[in-house]
Structure 1
Amino acid sequence: MDSYKLLINLPDTIVFLSPNLKVVDATDEYLKATMKTREELIGQDFLTTFPDNPSELLSHNMMIVRDSLMRVIATKDTDLLATLRYDIPKPESQGGGFEERYWEAVHKPVVDENGNLKYIIQRTSDVTQNVLAKRAAELEENKYRFMMNALPQLIYTTDNTGRATFFNQKWYDYTGTNPDILATNSWQSSIHPEDLPKVIEKVGHSLRNGTEFQMELRVRNGKGIYRWFLTRSIPMRDENNNILMWVGSSVDVHNTREMVFELEQSHEQMVELSEQVQQAYGKAEAERKVLHNLIMKAPVFFCVLRGPEHRYELMNERYQKLFPNRNLIGQSVAEALPEVAEQGFVKVLDEVYETGREFVAEKIKVTLDRYGNGKLEEMTLTFMYQTIYDENSKVTGIMVCGFDVGEQISS
Structure 2
Amino acid sequence: MKPAAEAAEAAPPTAAGLPVIARNVVHFVRVLRGAGLPMSPAQAADAIDALGFVDLARRDDVRAALAALLTSAPDERELFDAAFDVFWRDPDWEGKLRALLLPKVKAGMPPPRRGNRLADALAARAPERNGAQQPAAREEHELRAHATFSADERLRHRDFDTLSADEWRALRHLIRRRRQPLATERTRRLKAAARGAHADLRASAREAVRSGGDWTVWKYRAPVERKPPLVLLLDISGSMSSYSRAVLYYCHALLQSRERLQVFLFGTRLTHATRALRERDPDIAIAQLAAQVADWSGGTRIGATLAEFNRRWARRVLNGRATALIVTDGLDHDAGDTLAAEMARLHRFAHRVVWLNPLLRYRDFAPKARGVQAMLPHVDFHCPVHNLDSLEAFGRSLGDAPLAVKPRTAVASSDAAPVVRGAARWN
Bin of the TM-score, shorter chain as denominator length: under 0.3
Name the structure where helix makes up a greater proportion of residues: 2
Report which structure shows greater RCO (CA 8 Å, sep ≥6): 2
Name the TM-score, length of structure 2 as normaliser: 0.22
Name the structure where strand makes up a greater proportion of residues.
1
